[in-house]
């Protein structure tokens, strides 16, 4: 692959995997290590083509209905959150069902349950047909109205009684701020969470791309088109001064005519090795400057169902005896290794195992 040879790269920090994605990818990697393939996953584990393709190589089958999972087969539910009936159906159908929902999405689901039980009408701001929005609306469908734009708010019938405002975790900060202010004007007594529903990783990455955009000739956003937080980064880059913005899945999608200073960031489900490959192809003559906005040290432990499995296996016999490729088998408190490296090691181990 030819180099582009730009002048300099400004690299956003933080970028790439967030704590929720780390947890979900590690969890599915551990499922692949514990169980013989195929392992099933309801919806894409995260919205990233590269990650999904890597898991497919490892024998994971992604399905859009629990009925597509053979009875008794192990199944994982994606990081975006699932409808209650989906969670229950997975438990009934599978011998092992693990829910890898991000804890921050779980927080939003809790808000929906509490507000609906207290008789509130809920205005939920999210992307229609996005997995997270579908799962959240399903928590209390009779109490929620999903809107995506200010125009849709204007078109809503007037609500009488208590009103709550809740959002998808991966929205653009600017879009959320605009629609939130309009809702508050319309319903001055509306309930909102004390702590924003927007994921801290989403906001941190958007703040970093704001810094990049005013200082770069072009901005490259690494991530897939169905990733809400990636699209939010792309929109933020355009709004805050980048003349040219390119969303790519990997280095092979970079334009050949990039010049000058190029800002680089990655959505919360984009692996770091893809970031490195993009920078390698850009081949900046004057190196890479990292633009630090904040440090992220959050760690989410594995889902409780998976922790229980690991405890049982550990009690029965060492994991090394159960799993020949034990060099990448985790413990239930593995917070030190990053998910991208764990997945990469497993792929490399698989490749070695099939060599003639």
Active-site amino acid positions: 132
Residue environment code for 334-355, b if the CB has 16+ CB neighbours within 10 A, otherwise e: bbeebbbebbbebbebeeeeee
Give helix 339-353 / helix 19-34 axis angle, nearest 10°.
30
CA distance 241 to 189: 36
Q: How many CB atoms lie within 10 A of CB 140?
A: 19
CA distance 15 to 292: 10
């Amino acid at each position: 692959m030819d180099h582009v040879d730009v002048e300099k790269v400004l690299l956003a920090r933080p970028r790439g995997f967030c704590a929720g994605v780390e947890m979900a990818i590690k969890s599915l990697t551990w499922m692949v290590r514990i169980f013989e393939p195929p392992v099933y996953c309801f919806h894409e584990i995260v919205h990233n083509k590269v990650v999904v393709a890597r898991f497919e190589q490892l024998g994971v089958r992604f399905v859009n209905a629990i009925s597509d999972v053979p009875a008794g087969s192990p199944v994982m539910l994606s990081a975006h959150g699932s409808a209650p009936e989906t969670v229950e159906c997975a438990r009934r159908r599978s011998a092992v069902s693990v829910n890898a929902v991000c804890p921050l999405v779980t927080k939003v689901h809790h808000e929906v349950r509490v507000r609906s039980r207290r008789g509130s009408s809920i205005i939920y701001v999210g992307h229609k047909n996005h997995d997270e929005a579908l799962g959240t609306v399903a928590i209390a469908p009779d109490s929620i109205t999903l809107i995506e734009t200010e125009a849709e708010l204007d078109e809503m019938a007037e609500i009488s009684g208590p009103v709550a405002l809740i959002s998808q975790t991966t929205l653009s900060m600017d879009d959320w701020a605009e629609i939130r202010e309009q809702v508050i004007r319309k319903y001055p007594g509306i309930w909102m969470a004390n702590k924003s529903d927007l994921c801290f990783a989403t906001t941190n990455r958007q703040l970093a791309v704001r810094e990049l955009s005013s200082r770069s000739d072009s901005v490259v956003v690494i991530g897939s088109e169905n990733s809400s937080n990636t699209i939010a980064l792309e929109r933020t880059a355009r709004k805050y001064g980048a003349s040219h913005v390119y969303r790519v899945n990997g280095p092979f999608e970079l334009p050949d005519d990039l010049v000058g200073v190029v800002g680089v960031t990655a959505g919360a489900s984009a692996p770091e090795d893809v970031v490195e490959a993009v920078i390698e192809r850009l081949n900046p003559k004057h190196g890479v400057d990292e633009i630090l906005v904040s440090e992220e040290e959050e760690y989410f432990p594995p889902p409780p169902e998976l922790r229980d499995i690991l405890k049982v296996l550990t009690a029965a016999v060492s994991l090394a005896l159960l799993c020949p490729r034990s060099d990448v088998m985790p413990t239930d408190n593995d917070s030190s290794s990053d998910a991208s490296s764990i997945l990469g090691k497993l792929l490399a181990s698989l490749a070695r195992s099939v060599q003639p």
